[in-house]
Amino acid sequence: MIFDAIFRLLEDSYKRFNTPSVTQIAQIIKNDPYQVLISTIISLRTKDEVTLAASKRLFGVASTPSQMLELSPQEISTLIYPAGFYKKKGETIYNISKELLDRFGGKVPKDLETLLSIKGVGRKTANLVLVEGFGIPAICVDTHVHRIMNRMGIVHTKNPDETELKLREILPEKYWIKWNEYLVAYGQNICKPISPFCSTCNIQHLCAKIKVSKWR
């Protein structure tokens, strides 16, 4: 099966790359679901090194929902600066923390649909919390996973949510947990959005190179 070959090659390549920021944070905090959730919010449209530093600053001050509510949204924003959209994220983090306390006694839900019922939590975030926070098989699809899967011709979808739903149908569950981690690292280092490094790509022989007009 093609997924077996892709996974083995991605796993081998991953040894050369840096671990994505949210995975690093999950390892540092020993897979605390709340901190994984908050760091994932911080990571949206933000570079990995900025996400990691911002998360460490914030959790050094507040690492639980109740501690977070002792801060104002403005104070949270200041702590996570210069993460992208830090002012909006400060409000989102505060509101999510309040909702967790009000609805779930401060505990992060461990099923997809309940996570998605929390305002500010999208499919990518919810799936990443299941994977990194709880070790539950889920398919987290960000721009890297969406791009690479379409570029390879594995799926033909318009957005990450469609890619996730399609992969749920065709990707063996045994690969779900590591799929995002490996493909994010691959997308950051090899399969870049513009002019990917096809000449050094371990999986290029399995790739249709859809919409790739220039490569290195």
User: 């090194």: which residue's tokens?
Assistant: 49
Largest separation between any pair of C-alpha atoms in the chain: 54
CA dihedral 200, 205, 207, 208 (to 10 degrees): 120
Q: Quote the crossing angle between the two packed helices 176-189 and 143-152, to the nearest 10°.
A: 90
Give the burial class of 77: count Cβ atoms within 10 A of its Cβ; 0-12 exposed, 13-18 middle, 19 or more buried: buried
Which positions are annotated as active-site residues? Answer: 124, 142
User: 């997924």: which residue's tokens?
Assistant: 3
- The Cα 152–Cα 210 span in angstroms is 7
Provide DSSP, 41-110.
HHHTTS-HHHHHHHHHHHHHH--SHHHHTTS-HHHHHHHHTTSTTHHHHHHHHHHHHHHHHHHHTTPPP-
| Number of CB atoms found within 10 A of residue 88's CB | 14
